[in-house]
Structure 1
């Protein structure tokens, strides 16, 4: 790295411009500097996956997603963040947690790494969380895991994190059977 400049300081994310030595010369690349995130594939005893639908302004659409959230608390362990986000977004907790997969979400445009966890042993939270903005009208739906995987492969669900999580979970549970 020859130089890194903050181009824009945002409310959630920043934009950086880096000048790097590459090959025989130099290149400049701008990208969104991201805090990182977690997502949760919550599966109940009937092999249904918990999906949420909420408004996402960049795509001007209510998107089907996994419960997820930012790693925006300094020093917070990703597993602890996942446990917090599942309770905050869906009012459920899980007795069993395991890391499923981690992925760069859009490596050509940001440096976000998302850690996806499988949560089982699902039960209702003791209290409902107060939600605001896009989260105020989150729709929660339990969908058979195989139906969610079919929807991903048929192009009816487009969220990349949901796609990775659902397909990885279906493979993991199939291999364990």
Structure 2
């Protein structure tokens, strides 16, 4: 075992009590638990609130022929209090709300709903936990091949309160976009920087080089 390997597993956590004080579109659980400690023995019981979310997926559509990407902009309540504009520029994304639906199938469905796009080949960028200190959400991020000729416009499901603007951006503008701070959510930052690093090899695999 190296220093980077975890010292403990799930067996080293004991959940003493679990309550669900809130259940709406999302769920909040309150856990009383204890876990083993690095210097030996068990720690004292602690209480932690957990924001329970379904697994999620996001995609950065990329057209290797046109050298363009597609991003979406929509209102986000989490940005309301501290951001000049709570309309955020981000990836196409969605939550797994259909039984048995894979992350790839989920994101293909969301691409149609949020941008009218049919995606081709998909490449995994990362799978990560956005904020494990308070939520169990896990996000699978892709880059997806797309034909972006004529892409863009207003999309979304009005019944769900969605009002989404899809827009194309030249890949050459990504560095400027990153520096500007206009994109400030983790999934989008990860995918955009990944594309800058891997664009050449992706173009070869997708037949654009």
**Residue 167 and residue 14 in structure 1: after superposition, are their counterparts in 2 closer, same or farther (change >3 A)?**
same
Q: In the TM superposition, what whole-angstrom CA distance separates every residue of 1:80-118 from its partner, at most 9, and x where no partner exists?
A: 001101111000112211222111112222111111111
Residue 5 of structure 1 aligns with which residue?
Answer: 19
Question: Is 1:146–1:170's contact at 8 Å kept on the other side of the alignment?
Answer: no
Unaligned runs of 5+ in 2: 1-14, 38-42, 81-85, 205-209
Alignment of 1:38 with 2:65, yes or no, is no
Residue 145 of structure 2 aligns with which residue?
Answer: 120
Residue 28 of structure 1 aligns with which residue?
Answer: 47
Query: Structure 2: how far apart are the matches of 1:163 and 1:122?
Result: 22
- What is the DSSP-based 3-state SS (H/G/I as helix, E as strand, rest coil) of the residue aligned with 2:34? strand
Q: TM-score, normalised by structure 1?
A: 0.87
Alignment map for 1:11-160 (pairs within 5 Å): 11=25, 13-22=26-35, 23=37, 24-44=43-63, 45-60=65-80, 61-122=86-147, 131-132=157-158, 133-136=160-163, 138-160=164-186
By how many angstroms is 1:155 displaced? Answer: 2.3
By how many angstroms is 1:154 displaced? Answer: 4.1
Aligned residues: 173
Unaligned runs of 5+ in 1: none
Q: Which has the higher contact order (CA 8 A, sep 6+)?
A: 1
Q: Which has the higher strand share?
A: 1
Query: Structure 2: how far apart are the matches of 1:85 and 1:149?
Result: 26
**Residue 108 and residue 28 in structure 1: after superposition, are their counterparts in 2 closer, same or farther (change >3 A)?**
same
2:196 to 149, 170, 174: 170
Q: TM-score, normalised by structure 2?
A: 0.74
Question: Is 1:51–1:67's contact at 8 Å kept on the other side of the alignment?
Answer: yes
Question: Is 1:56–1:134's contact at 8 Å kept on the other side of the alignment?
Answer: no
- What is the DSSP-based 3-state SS (H/G/I as helix, E as strand, rest coil) of the residue aligned with 1:107? coil
Query: Structure 1: how far apart are the matches of 2:179 and 2:98?
Result: 34
Cα RMSD for the two superposed structures:
2.2
Query: Structure 2: how far apart are the matches of 1:34 and 1:70?
Result: 8
By how many angstroms is 1:135 displaced? Answer: 2.2
Residue 8 of structure 2 aligns with which residue?
Answer: none
